[in-house]
Amino acid sequence: MKKLLMICVLVGATIINASATEGKRCENSSEELSEKVNDEIDQPEMKLEKVGDKKYQLNYMQIPAGKLTVIIRDESSRIIYRDVIFAEKFFSKNYDLSNLDLGDYQFEVMDSQSIKLMDEGIQIMPKTTKSTPVATVEVLDKERLAIFINNEDGLVRNLKIFDNGELIHEDAVEGEQFGKKFKFENVKSLSTLSIQVSDAAGNTKYISSLSL
């Protein structure tokens, strides 16, 4: 009777171990399958591009599987903009963020199952000037010269002409292009002249007729 009881206990232990081992195999198999499925899910091809000052373009380069939701969040994760898109083909959509305050934002795209497809940070920064004005001087003769200024950003600037450090002429530079001829009868030599172009912020550029 004791022998029979010991055999039953051993058989029971073997069955429990076998079940535990099988359970582990099933669990591992399930994890492997889950990883494989995640690897096989293709993330949609999309890109967010900056196309201007505070302007962005979302390019979605495949056919959406249902509606898409675009959300913009501020620095405190508060939703400040929501856009629902229904499209049956590739698409591009522009977003003008000119009304937003300066700071950091999150641009998110979610599918119809609320799965996040994109989460990209964007910064709204102060507008900067396009470029430094390009000024050139052309000596026409012993008394005359012409000054040309390519003022691309259109900011109002100030033109000053000095003779040996003394201010002899001042002019306003307005618009994107400036061109003017000057005659200096009381100047001994044009080589002693220097030209200064400055803006309201104090940025200054000097040009000497000697360098031409």
What phi and psi, each to the nearest 5 degrees, are found at residue 162? Answer: -115, 145
Pair 110, 167 in one domain: no
Which of 13-17, 20-24, 168-172 has maximum average pLDDT? 168-172
Q: Confidence band (pLDDT; 50, 70, 90) for 202?
A: confident
What burial class does residue 145 get, using C-beta atoms within 10 Å of its C-beta: 0-12 exposed, 13-18 middle, 19+ buried? buried
Over pLDDT 90: what percentage of the chain?
29
One domain for residues 104 and 55: yes
Which of the four pLDDT bands, split at 50, 70 and 90, describes residue 3?
very low
Give 172's strand partners: 158
Which pTM was predicted?
0.43
Is 103 within the bounds of a domain?
A: yes
Kindly state whether residues 108 and 155 are assigned to the same domain.
no
Q: What amino acid is encoded at 123 in this protein?
A: Q
Count of alpha carbons within 13 Å of 48, Cβ hemisphere only? 18
Pair 122, 86: CB distance under 8 Å: no
Q: In this model, does residue 61 exceed pLDDT 80?
A: yes
- CATH assignment at residue 96: 2.60.40.3080
Residue 4 lies in a domain: no
- Last residue of a domain, which of 75, 97, 124? 124
pLDDT attached to residue 43:
64
Residue keyed to tokens 């049956």 = 88
Residue 145: domain span: 134-211
SS3 185: coil
CATH number at residue 148: 2.60.40
Identify the band that residue 199 occupies on the pLDDT scale cut at 50, 70 and 90: confident
Q: What percent of the chain has pLDDT over 70?
A: 74
Residues 152 and 119 in one domain: no
Residue 83 has pLDDT above 90, yes or no: yes
Mean pLDDT of all residues in 184-199: 86
pLDDT band at residue 18 using 50, 70 and 90 as cut-offs: very low
Q: For residue 72, how many other CB atoms are within 10 A of its CB?
A: 19
Residue 72, pLDDT > 90, answer: yes
Among the candidates 63, 98, 124, a domain finishes at 124
Q: Among the listed ranges 15-19, 65-69, 124-128, 200-204, which one has the minimum average pLDDT value?
A: 15-19
Is 68's pLDDT higher than 50?
A: yes
Q: Which of 124, 143, 160 delimits the end of a domain? A: 124
Q: pLDDT (tens digit, 9 = 90+) per residue, 87-111?
A: 989 999 999 998 999 899 999 999 9
Residue 98 in domain: yes
Same domain, 147 and 189: yes
Mean pLDDT of 57-78: 92
How is residue 130 annotated by DSSP?
A: S
Q: Return the bridge partners of 56, or none.
A: 50, 95
Same domain, yes or no: 80 and 139 = no
Task: Look at residue 195 in the predicted model and tell me its pLDDT.
Answer: 87
Is-contact 13 5, C-beta < 8 A? no
**110 and 138 share one domain:** no
Number of domains in the chain: 2
- Whether residue 33 is predicted with pLDDT greater than 60 in this model: the reply is no
What are the CA-CA distances from residue 118 to residues 47, 53, 58, 60 (Å)? 9, 22, 11, 11
